[in-house]
Structure 1
Amino acid sequence: MDYRQLGRSGLKVPALSFGTGTFGGSNAFFERWGQTDVDEASRLIDICLDAGVTLFDTADIYSQGRSEEVLGAALKGKRDRAMISTKASFRKGDGPNDTGSSRYHLVRSVEGSLKRLGTDHIDLYFMHGFDALTPVEETLRALDDLITAGKIGYIGASNFSGWHLMKSLAVSDAYGLSRYVAYQGYYSLVGRDYEHELMPLGIDQGVGLMVWSPLGWGRLTGKIRRGQPIGEGRIAKGGAVGGPHVDEDYLFDVVDALDKVAADTGKSVSQIALAWLLTRPTVANIVVGARTEDQLRQNLGAVGWTLDAEHIALLDDASRRAPAYPYWHQMDFDERNPKPTHW
């Protein structure tokens, strides 16, 4: 397993982490993702640990906390070999303060997650979304206090826009508060918006990326191809609900390129899609999910080898789309405004 520095921090994380959105499945939304119980989770976690996948990602809203409970139970007796990342900010109750990134909500959210996870500390804690009603200073001061108390180790942001993240980093610098060292965001061969603003920001400010939904909401598993019906799986069950729209012609152009690389390398479509991400600037970790042992082992096969330059270029060309303004305009000013590699 390749281990990478997480942003501008001293923490090394495995190139792959295991996402536990499939654990629990205790409501209509998440049961489409999976309904992994404690016994199944324990088996998957053992496979991960044996492969060097030591980081496990969850959130307090996944199955309304059941994912954290299953993860905590499955990690019993193994906690010293694992790192846990979880998240808060989205609504976790009916009260007016049961949502957001206020001190009130965050302190209670951390305590709730610690209890469900059966641990005394969270290694990496993400704000799941930006709270525009709470002062950024309040959020970061609360997180800094939780770090000082030893309840969380590092902090990150998820689903922030570029200005949300930069404002937060500037406040941390101005007041000497702990900085976000990681950004957890959507990035895939059929979803490259991250590259336009957040990637240059991550390079400039030392924020590492943890990628969620690296297979494009299940579209890059090799099960979806031009002119063929969608086979059984998460998408067929409605598990793509809430995901971004992807134009079919564009999707199939990308899948055709993946098939070409698969034929050349002997790797699977999903392994190639994950390996492509591991070549990208700022990517520190990819969160992979699996409902079965076979799916997990398939994802683990994305590491231990690298794509060659010709195949990377083929995938780049097939998946590249014109960016929104002002990014398309900035492409003509490379002399003074250089872009990340492969932009």
Structure 2
Amino acid sequence: MEYPRLGRSGLRVSRLIYGNWLTHASQVEADAAEACVRAALEAGITTFDTADTYANTEAEKVLGRALAGERREGLVIATKCYWPIRPDGAPQDQAGPNDHGLSRKHVTEALHGSLRRLGTDYVDLFQLHRYDHDTPLEETMEALADLVHAGKVHYVGVSEWTADQLRRGHALARELRIPFVSNQPQYNLLWRVIEPEVVPACAELGLGQIVWSPLAQGVLTGKYRPGRPAPEGSRATDTHGGQSMMQHLLKDELLEKVARLRELAEEAGMPLHHLALQWVVQQPTITSAIVGASRPEQVTDNVRALEVELDEDLLARVDEVLGDSVKRDPSLTRSPQRIAEFG
């Protein structure tokens, strides 16, 4: 395991980060989730990514219990806020008017809630899960500055912001003297929309890229086959969120190309998911990739992807197979105009 610095900061994160979106308290029971976290620690993963919205705060609780007893200084714990959080037991559409967004009220209360659930006095990285068009950016960044200066947050970052939004946020962070160090975008062989604008902006600003969905929700494992139903128990059959997130990836035309990628990977002596993961982490602009798991052996197996080598010929053949199936349009990096649409 390598531990690169996050952007231009002094914070070192593991090359693979363990994340619990769509798994803990959703697809995976608590005992299995804790076993996955244990496997991650044993494999050298020191960085853990979660968010208050995952399983409506339950994922943070599971992660907090799984990490209890670990030496806190040896961990990097990252969480996020923005999306609606509803009171315990309330229906999905009954979040309160201030239970979402990036107002001073919600950012402050969200962080304190995350600290309680995670069982820690501080988080190493607190990220804004999307850009809030309804709240002045100055208000959001000043709230973050207060949390940093109070010692409750060490570093701040964002997720799925455009290049212009990143530049505006970074300028305010410099004025407020807080360490704005990371961007968390979606990025994989099929989804490269950050390359034209976001990647150059992050390089200019000194932001590290912690990317999510490096395996395209599992599609780049090759387990979804054209013309066949999704495997039982897979993310595509998860009615708690995975199924709806994956529909655009389960088209036969795309799955046929992924099947050809699988053949290329096997010819090169590796499984497809190792090829896909290594492709992401070897990009010079990427700091780390977030991986999830429903079983401990998946964690161990994903770490082995760091050992494979991809030569230029293989990379060229991969791009040839995928062709115009790769999404590159930078306008696809966006936040909802009105969060109420998602409440």
TM-score using structure 1 length = 0.86
Shift of 1:323: 4.3
Shift of 1:187: 0.8
- The alignment-based identity, stated in percent, is 36
Matched-pair contact (CA < 8 Å) for 1:6–1:182: yes
Structure 2: which amino acid aligns with 1:167?
R
Q: With a CA cutoff of 8 Å and minimum separation of 6, indicate the structure with the bigger relative contact order.
A: 2
Matched-pair contact (CA < 8 Å) for 1:24–1:70: yes
Q: 1:201 to 1:65 in 2, by over 3 A?
A: same
1:177 aligned partner: 177
Structure 1: which amino acid aligns with 2:275?
I
Instruction: Give, in whole Å, the separation in 2 of the partners of 1:252 and 1:324.
Output: 22
Give the gaps of 5 or more residues in structure 2: 87-94, 332-343
Q: 1:229 to 1:243 in 2, by over 3 A?
A: closer
2:92 aligned partner: none
Shift of 1:251: 4.1
Q: Deviations over 1:225-250 (max 9, x none)?
A: 34544322111335231347245424
Q: Deviations over 1:24-65 (max 9, x none)?
A: 43xxxxx3xx1330x323322221111110111110011111
Matched-pair contact (CA < 8 Å) for 1:58–1:87: yes
1:263 aligned partner: 267
Instruction: Give, in whole Å, the separation in 2 of the partners of 1:240 and 1:194.
Output: 24
1:294 is paired with a residue of what secondary structure? Answer: helix
| 1:21 counterpart = 2:21 | yes
Instruction: Give, in whole Å, the separation in 1 of the partners of 2:70 and 2:312.
Output: 39
Matched-pair contact (CA < 8 Å) for 1:258–1:315: no
Give the number of aligned pairs.
317
1:127 aligned partner: 128
1:98 is paired with a residue of what secondary structure? Answer: coil
2:162 aligned partner: 161
Matched-pair contact (CA < 8 Å) for 1:220–1:255: no
Residue of structure 1 aligned with 2:62, choices 70, 74, 91: 70
Instruction: Give, in whole Å, the separation in 2 of the partners of 1:191 and 1:45.
Output: 27
Instruction: Give, in whole Å, the separation in 2 of the partners of 1:271 and 1:157.
Output: 27
1:154 is paired with a residue of what secondary structure? Answer: strand
Matched-pair contact (CA < 8 Å) for 1:89–1:99: yes
Shift of 1:177: 3.3
Alignment of 1:1-343 (within 5 A): 1-25=1-25, 31=26, 34-37=27-30, 39-80=31-72, 81-93=74-86, 94-173=95-174, 175-232=175-232, 233-238=234-239, 239-243=242-246, 245-246=248-249, 248-265=252-269, 267-321=270-324, 323-324=328-329
2:90 aligned partner: none
More helix by share: 2
Shift of 1:5: 1.6
CA RMSD of aligned residues (A): 2.2
Give the gaps of 5 or more residues in structure 1: 26-30, 327-343
